[in-house]
Structure 1
Amino acid sequence: MPGLLIPFVWQQVRSTPCLLTWGGGHLIGAIGLLIVLLRGPVPVGISIQLGNALLLLYHAALWSAARQFEGRRLLPLGMAAGPALWLLACQFPAFYASLEARVVLVSTIASAYSLAAAVELWRGRPERLPSRWSLIGLFLVLALYYAGQLLFGRALSIPDVTGLPPMLTVTSSFLLLNLVKERSARRHQEEARLDPLTGVFNRRGFLEAAARCLTPRRWRGRAPTAAALLLMGLDHFKQINERFGHAVGDRVLRLFAAVARAELAPGDVLGRLGGE
């Protein structure tokens, strides 16, 4: 279901490519699981090797989607490394004949991808999104689950009576959609506080930011320092518009805003309250 739902959502939000990677990964995982479950009609060698390789590629896709969500580039070699290692190991008769060895390798790779996905999301924690920690926790649970298979000797493709992987699959997809929604809502809120021409605060954003700066608070036991307000106006700005046109006037405003930002100290608030 997530493999069909999420690409549909991506059609509406094409600026979020992680949705396509996530949905594609779920489709790949569904195909891999189908190949595993059809063992018998599907030759055993294909079921074991190709089925588990696709399931590992599914986990690699989730890791890649987490990287994309955080604005990092895809690592195709990293995605292919796990499935390729599995397929390569299966070419050795001693390994292929040992169920325990196959369980160890496939569970280790799946656990590593899940842990890597959690780390990618954790690295983006400065962007405070409520659903982030839930998705990190889910990936950690998934990593521990596959690590636990190393102890109990259960293969990735063996049916699980707990129903945990399918439940986590559906839950993770809803959490990702919620993350995308939270980021979009946050950006819309930020854009509503900015002047679209100069990129500095508009009147609303400036007043809110200034109010936060003036909120009484103590720092290391000392009273807050005084604040200063500086009003700046551009001389002859009306004449610039009348003589050279509004396009040139807009360039002047953008240039002034850029210079002002460069001169202000970190934490200072800059806003545009009027025409100039």
Structure 2
Amino acid sequence: MELDVKTLLTINLAVVCLSSVTACYFWNQYRDNVWLLCWTVATAICGVALLLIRVFGAVPPLAIGPPIVLMLFSSYLLIWESMRLFNGRRLQPLRLGAIVLVFVAVLAVVVWATTGVNQRANFLSASLAILSSLSAYEVLRKDNEEFLRTRLAMAALFGAMAIVLALRAILGWLEPATATIDAYYDPLGGFSSLVNSIAIIGLSIALMMMANERTSGRHRRLALTDELTGLPNRRYFLTQAEQLLRRGGKDAPACILMMDLDHFSKVNERFGHTGGDEALISFAALLRQQLRSGDLVARYGGEEFCVLLIGPDRTQGLQLAEAIRSALAAKPVTIRGRLHPLTVSIGLAPLRGGDIDAALQLADKALYRAKGAGRNRVATWDGDPRSNLDLAAG
């Protein structure tokens, strides 16, 4: 059954315009999402091209045909670029310009070497199939660690468009070259336009869902992450610590490190709060270097940091704490472009029976003991005031 091309073209035009307006609205709300602007421009260009086809027909004058082909190609190219931008890649105008120039050069050869409109339509379909495939690939790139469930739907829609466009091009090339510039032949009988309409509707919906999913995920991460250092915050630490302890078993050796930067108020007085922020960021980076991948670290509040060590006993935990203390004391940090010595006091407490709250209280007591003994020290506290307590100092 051959579908009415004009009706499908009108539907395509309406869908593309709606997609452009919707993307523009959301971009106006979230100006930092450049990919939405790119999608807006892409669908707007596609809408202009479809409008010209609707006005001049499937076989437009020679002066109008190539610009329409170029606009359709550019719109799909920008759609691919919008997916790249969504994945955090930088906009590369020179690369886009080079791709367009290559396409124009090949299009000029096709226009010069052929007289039938179908050969140009086949070339365009093949080009758009390649760009749709690249968009699907970009959505599912393996180097993208961000998990979004709607990515699969986006990739499937781009893939469907690529398959239909490629099939249209192949069937068009296999047909006898009987068509002239006055006759347009669609080997799929308008089916490609129907699939394109459905795909654009689906892509527009999936696009907004994917953007909303990313925003919701970022809000959840921000609620559990310290914005300054990028470390987990206190809320995440307490929740995750309970899960790790349940997974490892209550009898597994574990200990808590409570750390506090020494004389941090003086850093703020000398360098301002910006300098204090730089000191916190530097110490957070040092913790990432010194700790193991399975250790749970968090900015507990202010200049205070906390670490859960699962596996090391009291002696091993003391060695790791001393490694952190000595590493910070040995190398001044850069604050406001100047080197400044920074030290940390650390309190350690063993974790028994999976009681994280009790261990935190003991580690806090050990921390105050280290502070009271002169700072730049590691102190331990096991809950028994009569026991001999280790105290390591630089």
Report the TM range for the smaller structure's normalisation: 0.7 to 0.9
Give the counterpart letter for 1:214 in structure 2.
Answer: L
Residue correspondence of structure 1 range 188-267 to structure 2 within 5 A: 188-216=219-247, 226-237=253-264, 240=266, 244=270, 247=273, 249-267=276-294
Residues 95-244 of structure 1 correspond to what in structure 2 (within 5 A)? Answer: 95=114, 97-123=115-141, 125-153=144-172, 159-160=190-191, 163-216=194-247, 226-237=253-264, 240=266, 244=270
TM-score computed with the length of structure 2 as normaliser = 0.60
Q: Contact 1:200–1:257 at 8 Å: present in 2 too?
A: yes
Q: Which amino acid letter does the alignment assign opposite residue 4 of structure 1?
A: V
Q: Cα gap change, 1:237/1:4 in structure 2, threshold over 3 Å: closer, same or farther?
A: closer
CA distance in structure 1 between the partners assigned to 2:130 and 2:268 by the alignment? 64
Q: Deviations over 1:140-170 (max 9, x none)?
A: 00000101102432659x8548622122112
- Deviations along 1:5-27, whole A, 9 cap, x unmatched? 21121011111111111111111
Q: Where does residue 56 of structure 1 map in the other structure?
A: 73
- In the TM superposition, residue 120 of structure 1 has moved relative to its aligned partner by 0.9
Deviations 1:175-201 (CA, angstroms, capped at 9, x unpaired) = 112111111111111111122343322
Contact 2:165 2:192 in 1 (8 A): no
1:93-129 CA-to-partner distances (Å, cap 9, x unmatched) read: x32x134432331111010000001111111552101
Aligned to 1:270, what secondary structure does the other structure show? strand
1:87 aligns with 2:101: no
Following the alignment from structure 2 to structure 1, what is the Cα–Cα distance between the partners of residues 224 and 57? 61
CA–CA distance in 2 between the matches of 1:49 and 1:185? 43
Q: Deviations over 1:179-228 (max 9, x none)?
A: 1111111111111112234332211111233234334279xxxxx97544
- Give the gaps of 5 or more residues in structure 2: 1-17, 173-184, 305-394
- The residue type paired with residue 8 of structure 1 is Y
Evaluate the alpha carbon distance shift between residue 245 and residue 19 of structure 1 in structure 2; reply closer, same or farther with a 3 A threshold. closer
* 1:76 CA displacement: 1.3
Specify whether residues 81 and 227 from structure 1 end up closer, same or farther in structure 2 by C-alpha distance, changes over 3 A only: farther
Per the alignment, do residues 72 and 114 of structure 1 end up closer, same or farther by CA in structure 2, a change over 3 Å counting?
Answer: same
Matched residue of 1:45: which SS?
A: coil
Quote the offset at 1:263 in angstroms.
Answer: 1.4
**2:50, 2:103 → 1: CA distance?**
14
Question: Which structure has greater helix proportion?
Answer: 1
TM-score (norm 1): 0.84
Q: How far has the Cα of 1:77 moved from its partner?
A: 3.1
Distance 1:183 1:91, change over 3 A: same
Q: Give 2:180's aligned residue.
A: none
The residue identity in structure 2 corresponding to 1:110 is L
The answer as to whether partners of 2:87 and 2:144 remain within 8 angstroms in 1 is no
Query: What's 2:363 paired with?
Result: none
Tell me the matched-pair count: 268
| Identical-residue share of aligned pairs (%) | 28
- Deviating more after overlay: 193-202 vs 41-50: 41-50
Give the direction of change, closer, same or farther, for the CA distance of 1:81–1:60 in structure 2 (3 Å limit): farther
CA distance in 1: counterparts of 2:161 and 2:191, whole angstroms:
13
How many angstroms does 1:51 deviate by? Answer: 1.6
The structural deviation recorded for 1:89 is: 2.7
Task: For 1:29-40, list aligned pairs within 5 A.
Answer: 29-39=46-56
Alignment match of 1:274 (pick from 301, 304, 307): 301
Task: Answer yes or no: is the 8 Å Cα contact 2:111–2:120 preserved in 1.
Answer: no
**Letter of the 1:118 counterpart:** A
Q: Distance in 1 between matches of 2:160 and 2:192?
A: 17
Q: CA RMSD in A?
A: 3.1
Deviates more, 1:130-139 or 1:147-156: 147-156
Counterpart CA distance in 1 for 2:248 and 2:290 is 26
CA contact (8 A) 1:107 1:155 kept: no
* Structure 1 residue 86: Cα displacement: 5.2
